[in-house]
Structures are given as C-alpha cells and as structure tokens.
C-alpha cells in the first residue's frame, strides 16, 4: 500500500489549482461575446503605450489571444478624436502578413462608444449563416450581441498571441548552450523579418515600424518569426499632442537605445530607421547577445566587438550596410533580400508547395494523403542518368507523407516566403496612417457602421444548387473551409439578376470572405452556375 501523501504537499497542489482557476476566470467579454478576457496577465514583449495586457480566449476559433488596453485620462480630448482613432485602427486591422502579429479586432470603450457589428444568424442581404469549428459536432447559429460600455475611455484591441516569447528571450536561452547562432537559422529569421518590413514599406504611404527591437520580434515553436507593435508608431505620430500621454516610446528604455539610429527623433522618420534597427537585431541574432554596461545602455565599443566577432565576411558586410550612419546609404528591405548572404535560388519543391497552397481551395482537404495512398511506392519518381554507370533513382517510398504535410504547413504559415519574384504590392492605405498635414475641415455625413472584415483565407470550397419546390428559383448552398479549419455554411436564394461577381463582392463586404479570395470565389461560383444552369444567372 502506498504511503499517504504528506499534507503540506497536498496543500501546495490545492493552492496551485486555485491560482490556475483564478487565472482562467473570465473578467470581461467583447461587445459581440467572441473575445473573453481572463485574469492572467501576459508580457508579450514590450508593447509601448499599452498599460494592461491580458490573456484572452477567442471562443470562435478556440485559440488564445492577447487583450490589450490603452487607457486615456482626458475624456474630452478622447471624444474629440474618436473618429480618427477608429479610422486608424480600421486600417491596422487590414495589415495582414504571415510574419506580422495580427491585430484581429478593436473597439472603443467609452460612454459615447457603440458596439461594433454584432453577429446574428440572419443578415438583411438574405444570407443565412452557420459556423462550426473543429470538434463542435455540428452547425450553430451565431447569437445576436448587445453590450453596455463602461465609463472609462480606452481602446481595447485583440492581437495574436505568440506563446513562445520574444526573440530576446529565445536568444538568452540559446546562449546557455551555444556560442553563436546557427547560420541557416539566422538566414531564415532574417528573411522572414525582411519579408515583413518589405511588405510594410511597400504600402502607400509606407508603414514605418519605428520600434523594431528583439523585444518586439517574437518566435514560435516552429521557427516562425512574428513582428509585433506595428501599430505603435502609426498611433503615436497620428494622434494630436493632447492624446499622446499614454504612448511610451521603446527608446525611452536605456537598454534598447542601441536599436535606434543616430538620426532618430531629429529628422522625419523614413524606412531607413527600420533598416538600422533590423541590422542591430541581425547582429544580436548572430552573436546571441550584445553585452551591455551593467543594466544600462549598450555602448559603441560593445557593438564594435560584436561585429568583429563575426567570422563570415558576407554576414559582417550585410550587417554593416544596415548600420550605416548615413540613412541614405542603407539598402531597402527588398534589396537586402537579394544580398548574397541571403539570396538563394528557390528549390522546385518550394515553388511547387507555394503553387499547391495557392490553389488548395480547388482540392479536397486530405488530397496529399489520398494521392500518396494511390501511388505505387516502388515506382521511380525521378532519375538522374550517369552513363556508363547505372542511373541514380529516387522512388516514392523515399518520400515521407508526414514530412510533406509538415513542409506544406510551414510554407502556409510563412516560414519559407517567396521573395525572389516580383509580387503584387500591398493595397494602398489611407493617408491617416501617415503623419497628417494640416487638414481642412470637411463636412461630415453619417455613414453606416462597417462590418467586420474576414482575416482568414479560404482553403476549400464546395457549392450546391437545388431547385425550390415551386421550381421558380434556385437555392444555393456554399460551404467554405477557412485556414483555421473553421467551417462556414452559407445559403442563399438566387435572384435572376444575381451574378457570380456580385455574390462574391457581397460576401466580402459583409465579412464572410477575405478580400484576397474574392476573385477565386467568383470564378468558382461561375463554374458552378455553368454546371447546373448552363449559363450564369
């Protein structure tokens, strides 16, 4: 018989259980009920200006997110600039890149604020909506939401949660067992960071991060890099002086001063600011740590020693070009991706994976597994002639299905971006994201409350058309599988005037489909119409 457990140990375990239960308590809900704030506070790097950050639950996707609270003390100033704050956050929600921490949702929490769009089970457009996540066990109708805003003026916004911590934390852990970073991992991280910066700088007007440090770069367990705090510089520059009090700049911390170039704060910010900060991050990633003088700032001597410790001359030249004193001599993020230390010809495997993912919505969900089962594992996949010797053969049995699935998932998540080809530039963003000039007063007309934009991409589509009982019209059922495996079923009674393009536009407008999926959804609907009707209705 086992000996009874000592009472003090059982007491400690009960205390830990009680603490865990307290941390999971729901303190507050978002206006629509989707986001639930917990008691547990998180420190996802240094998020300047945010006084409180809590762990929260996304009840629709079943994942953890971060609940950020930005408080304001001057109620009158907040009310006067409420519309500008809304516009800025509306545009920040549109910033969508696999290597940038996603801002999912925001709302203004003040007595004058109104609830954002509520998710009901029926829209005035005639679309019926049902959604289900993995493990839900069926479709459910989204309930209507209502809320009463508390009196304290603040902005609450929901951001992606990166559980593995900041790059600085990761480098400190790595330094315990290694003297330098693996060159292959360093190149992969640099490529992902530059991919995000190239995306931001290509916006119109360019989005300048202005706060890039190893504390605002996060890394996931699979090696995916995420840049956080993108909103800070835009928000602090666009707000008038009477509302800037909550905004705290990262450069106010002595330990991070070395991430900011000499011209910072003296001249108008440009994209070169981010390049200097990236160069310092790249140096810190390569040497794992730049020794500071005690707990104060990092000195020029420490930076020089770190540079000289680099054994790879190409890596040293790459970092030095980013740290040029003259901002006009620093290369762009896009050009840095073509530097000889990073540039490589993409493999056919990577090109095929990107092509596969772009067209995955046309294929069954488990297409890789099904195709693998149908292949003769002893068949020759590829052959290299080597006369007079026998050819070198590669058989299907040498390809692991599980490894292929993992590789496709990594490509889908953004770990292996394609940067050696001309790509479509990001959509232009309104001027409100740039430091605004003197604005003339314009007459304001009331506008309807906008709908939430869908941020998840569609990976699979199914469509069916059935005649109504009176044979007078067609009933359309559309099933969409989103990238987080959420299933969305939409039903609609077609009108004679409806076209595939109009229906796709409507679904994007009402937040059912991502803007990037509009074209392929329209083409998919049109092919369905031709199949069932013989001609587009």
Q: What is the mean pLDDT of the chain?
A: 76
239 touches 81 (CB < 8 A): yes
Query: Among 34-38, 410-414, 518-522, which stretch is predicted with the lowest mean pLDDT?
Result: 410-414
Residue 472 phi/psi, 5-degree rounding, is -90, -20
Q: Is the pLDDT of residue 24 over 90?
A: no
The residues, ordered by sequence, that sit 6+ positions from 365 with a Cβ below 8 Å of its Cβ are: 459, 460, 481
Domain 458-534 bears CATH identifier 3.10.20.90? yes
What is the arithmetic mean of pLDDT over 387-404?
A: 80
Give dist(CA 218, CA 227) in Å, integer.
6
Lowest mean pLDDT among 182-196, 364-378, 481-495: 364-378
Rg (CA), the chain: 26
CA distances (Å), origin 283, targets 208, 214, 521: 21, 11, 44
229, containing H or E segment? none
Whether the Cβ atoms of residue 225 and residue 43 lie closer than 8 Å to each other: no
320 pLDDT more than 80:
yes
Tens of pLDDT, residue by residue over 508-526, are 888 888 888 889 999 988 8
- C-beta of residue 464 within 8 angstroms of C-beta of residue 531: no
Residue 230 contacts residue 96 (beta carbons within 8 Å): no
Per-residue model confidence (pLDDT) at position 13: 57
Nearest CA to 72 out of 113, 118, 117 is that of 113
Q: Which of 124-128, 188-192, 209-213 has the lowest mean pLDDT?
A: 124-128
Q: Kindly state the percentage of the chain with pLDDT values over 70.
A: 72
**pLDDT tens digits along 467-513:** 777 676 788 888 888 887 778 888 888 877 788 888 898 888 888 88
> Which one-letter DSSP state was computed for residue 255?
G
At CA 47, angle to CA 237 and CA 274, rounded to 5?
Answer: 55
The number of angstroms, rounded, from the C-alpha of 269 to the middle of its chain's C-alpha atoms is: 24
Q: Where in the chain is the domain with CATH 1.10.510.10?
A: 26-111+153-342
pLDDT at 120: 37
**Residue range 275-297: mean pLDDT, rounded:** 84
Report the range of poorest mean pLDDT among 116-120, 416-420, 522-526: 116-120
Residue 374 phi, psi (nearest 5): -80, -10
> Which whole-number Å values give the CA distances from 375 to 254, 356, 397, 398, 405, in the listed order?
60, 18, 9, 12, 16
Closest to 35 in 3D by CA, of 55, 58, 66: 58
What contacts 31, CB < 8 A, 6 or more positions away?
Answer: 107, 115, 116, 118, 145, 147
The backbone torsions φ and ψ at residue 82, rounded to the nearest 5 degrees and listed phi first, read -60, -40
Residue 312 to residues 154, 180, 286, 515: CA-CA distances in angstroms?
A: 49, 12, 10, 43
Distance CA 59, CA 36 (A): 7
**Residue 134 has what pLDDT?**
46
Record the pTM. 0.63
| 473 or 379, greater pLDDT | 379
| Higher pLDDT, residue 157 or 269 | 157
DSSP codes, 108-141: EESTT--------SB-TTS-EEEEE-TT--S-BP
Q: Quick one: which of 498, 455, 509, 451 has its CA closest to 476? A: 498
CA distance 129 to 119: 9
Query: Which runs of consecutive H residues, i.e. helices, occur in 298-422?
Result: 300-308, 313-322, 333-336, 348-358, 367-374, 401-413
Residue extent(s) of CATH 3.10.20.90 domains in the chain: 458-534
Specify whether the backbone of 330 is left (phi greater than 0), alpha (psi in -120 to 50) or beta.
beta
**Distance between CA 285 and CA 322 in Å, rounded?**
14
In the CATH scheme, what is the code of domain 26-111+153-342? Answer: 1.10.510.10
pLDDT of residue 10: 56
Cα–Cα distance, 275 to 280 (Å, whole number): 9
SS3 53: strand
Q: In a 3-state reduction of DSSP, which class is residue 172?
A: helix
Q: Is the alpha carbon torsion for 513, 509, 511, 94 positive or negative? A: positive
Asked if residue 285 has pLDDT above 70, the reply is: yes
Per-residue model confidence (pLDDT) at position 20: 54
- Name which of 66, 81, 55, 387 is nearest 235 in CA terms: 81
Distance in angstroms (rounded) separating the CA atoms of residues 518 and 347: 30
Res 82: pLDDT: 83
The answer to whether the CB of 44 falls within 8 A of the CB of 83 is no
């Amino acid at each position: 018989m086992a000996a009874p457990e000592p009472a003090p140990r059982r007491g400690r375990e009960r205390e830990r259980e009680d603490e865990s239960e307290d941390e999971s308590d729901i303190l507050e809900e978002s206006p629509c009920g989707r986001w639930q704030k917990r008691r547990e506070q998180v420190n996802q790097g240094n998020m300047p200006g945010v006084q409180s950050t809590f762990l929260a639950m996304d009840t629709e996707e079943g994942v953890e997110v971060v609940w950020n609270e930005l408080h304001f003390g001057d109620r009158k100033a907040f009310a006067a600039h409420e519309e500008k704050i809304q516009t800025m956050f509306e545009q920040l929600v549109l910033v969508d890149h696999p290597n940038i921490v996603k801002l999912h949702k925001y709302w203004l929490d003040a007595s004058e604020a109104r609830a954002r769009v509520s998710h009901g089970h029926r829209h005035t457009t005639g679309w019926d909506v049902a959604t289900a996540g993995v493990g839900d066990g069926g479709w459910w109708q989204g309930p209507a939401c209502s809320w009463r805003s508390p009196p304290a003026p603040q902005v609450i916004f929901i951001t992606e949660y990166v559980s593995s911590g900041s790059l600085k934390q990761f480098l400190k852990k790595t330094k315990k067992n290694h003297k330098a970073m693996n060159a292959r991992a360093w190149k992969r991280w640099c490529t992902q960071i530059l991919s995000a910066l190239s995306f931001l700088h290509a916006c119109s007007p360019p989005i300048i991060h202005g706060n890039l440090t190893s504390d605002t770069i996060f890394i996931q367990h699979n090696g995916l890099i995420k840049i956080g705090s993108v909103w800070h510089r835009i928000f602090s520059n666009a707000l008038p002086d009477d509302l800037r009090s909550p905004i705290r700049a990262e450069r106010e911390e002595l330990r991070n001063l070395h991430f900011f170039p000499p011209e910072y704060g003296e001249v108008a910010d440009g994209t070169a600011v981010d390049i200097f900060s990236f160069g310092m991050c790249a140096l810190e990633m390569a040497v794992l740590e730049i020794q500071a003088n005690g707990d104060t700032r990092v000195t020029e001597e420490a930076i020089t020693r770190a540079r000289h410790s680099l054994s790879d001359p190409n890596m040293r030249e790459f970092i030095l070009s980013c740290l040029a004193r003259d901002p006009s001599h620093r290369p762009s993020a896009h050009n840095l991706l073509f530097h000889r230390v990073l540039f490589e010809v993409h493999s056919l495997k990577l090109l095929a994976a990107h092509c596969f993912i772009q067209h995955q919505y046309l294929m069954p969900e488990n297409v890789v597994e099904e195709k693998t089962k149908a292949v003769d594992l002893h068949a020759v996949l590829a052959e290299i002639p080597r006369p007079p010797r026998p050819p070198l053969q590669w058989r299907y049995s040498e390809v692991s299905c599980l490894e292929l699935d993992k590789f496709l998932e990594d490509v889908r998540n953004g770990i292996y971006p394609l940067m050696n080809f001309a790509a479509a530039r990001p959509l232009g963003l309104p001027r409100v994201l740039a430091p605004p000039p003197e604005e003339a007063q314009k007459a304001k007309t009331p506008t309807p409350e906008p709908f939430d934009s869908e941020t998840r991409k569609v990976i699979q589509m199914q469509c069916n058309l059935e005649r109504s009982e009176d044979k007078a019209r067609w009933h359309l059922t559309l099933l969409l599988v989103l990238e987080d495996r959420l299933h969305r079923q939409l039903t609609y009674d077609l009108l004679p005037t409806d076209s595939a393009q109009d229906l796709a536009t409507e679904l994007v407008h009402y937040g059912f489909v991502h803007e990037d999926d509009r074209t392929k959804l329209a083409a998919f609907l049109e092919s369905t119409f031709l199949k069932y009707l013989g001609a587009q209705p």
